[in-house]
Amino acid sequence: MGILTTAILLLHPLVACMALRWMWLQYGWKKKSKEMKGEERKNELERHEKNGERLLQLAIGTVLLAFFAKGIVALIEDEDIMQALVPKSLHGWTGPFGVSLLWIMARWGRKTRNLRIKKESFHIPKTKHGRAADILIACMFLHAFLGFLYLFTVL
């Protein structure tokens, strides 16, 4: 494997590390929200909502970047592109699955926001959103660990 293909394949883990850091900071909202009151909490809640939407877009982009990188490497190495795009490891399958979970969690977060704005009860979607965040953080670290191990087989 040449330097060019190695560099292309390393784009995904580099962007993913940034996304993981951002997800962890976003997850910290659960603790911070209990310590804030009034206008400060309202401003931080708006920031949390905006960052959640951006994070979802970044996660989708990160998965697409992985597929794009695999496709480019397949072209460079004259392999079958369709075969190269099919995940061959648990790490490869958990990426799209994790983004699906993140999308569902963001959907529950949007529902919570909409109900809060309408002054309706938002306890159930808020609870679902929080529990999904707990599960997603655990899955995120598992996925990152699998990716770290997968790097040894790719490189």
CA 61 to each of CA 56, 72, 100, 104, 113: distance values in angstroms, whole numbers, following the listed order: 9, 16, 13, 17, 24
Q: Any idea which of 84-88, 113-117, 135-139 has the lowest mean pLDDT?
A: 113-117
Q: Taking residues 56-85, what's their average pLDDT?
A: 91
CA 55/CA 3 separation, integer angstroms: 30
pLDDT-derived band at 110 (thresholds 50, 70, 90) equals confident
